[in-house]
Amino acid sequence: MSPLIGSMMRAVLLAVVVAAGAAFVLNRVGAPWLWAVLIALPIGALALLVSRLPRATDVVWSPQPANVSTATSAQASSLASRFAEAAVDQDRFANRVQPRLRRLAEARLRQVHGIYDIHDPRAREVLGADLHRLLTDPKAPLPEPSKLADLLENL
């Protein structure tokens, strides 16, 4: 079962339990069953809504911005959390992390070495074969954290 379906089923189950509990309490207080159920339905709907809201700690994987900005520090600050999740998901690495790493490398190559294209042979010499492959090959896997730190030090 996919995580999305499992989380939705848990949210619906929670809403049903909350609604049933509210109906039971209302009936015990003295409300007729019909009124208790009618009042408990919006309470259950509210519980469903609250359980499906995103948490503050959820990672939001937004697509890359269409325009390229020079603010590379904002991208660098979000890479740590992206690395953690990309380590277990190759598609996430290839679609989310690798393009951002490539843009950071291109910005650094422009600023320090005057190289404007990562596919330039000089870029391969400056970055090294391993880092260049990591940034340009769509099938390149995310290396271990220590190896990645060593590769990024070359940047």
Within a domain: residue 31? yes
Within a domain: residue 66? no
Do 47 and 21 form a contact (C-beta atoms < 8 A)? Answer: no
Mean pLDDT estimate for the chain: 80
The answer on 141 and 77 residing in a single domain is: yes
The answer on 136 and 81 residing in a single domain is: yes
Asked if pLDDT for residue 39 goes beyond 90, the answer is yes
Token digits of residue 113: 């070495």
The answer on 82 and 122 residing in a single domain is: yes
Q: Identify the pLDDT of residue 100.
A: 82
The answer on 99 and 145 residing in a single domain is: yes
Within a domain: residue 12? yes
Within a domain: residue 141? yes
Within a domain: residue 26? yes
The answer on 37 and 96 residing in a single domain is: no
**Sign of the Cα pseudo-torsion (86, 88, 90, 92, in order):** negative
Q: Identify the pLDDT of residue 117.
A: 84
The answer on 109 and 38 residing in a single domain is: no
Give 48-74 pLDDT, tens digit per residue.
Answer: 988 888 766 555 666 666 665 555 555
Cα dist from 74 to 60, 84, 97, 100, 109, whole Å: 15, 18, 14, 11, 18
- In total, how many domains does the chain have? 2
Residue 87 DSSP code: T
Q: What's the pLDDT band for 136 if we cut at 50, 70, 90?
A: confident
How many residues are there in the chain?
Answer: 155
The answer on 138 and 85 residing in a single domain is: yes
Give 103-122 pLDDT, tens digit per residue.
Answer: 888 888 888 888 888 888 88
Do 41 and 16 form a contact (C-beta atoms < 8 A)? Answer: no
Q: Domain range for residue 106?
A: 72-153
Q: Identify the pLDDT of residue 36.
A: 93
**Comparison of pLDDT for 83 and 127, the residue scoring more:** 127
DSSP sequence for 106-138: HHHIIIII----TTSHHHHHHH-HHHHHHHH-T
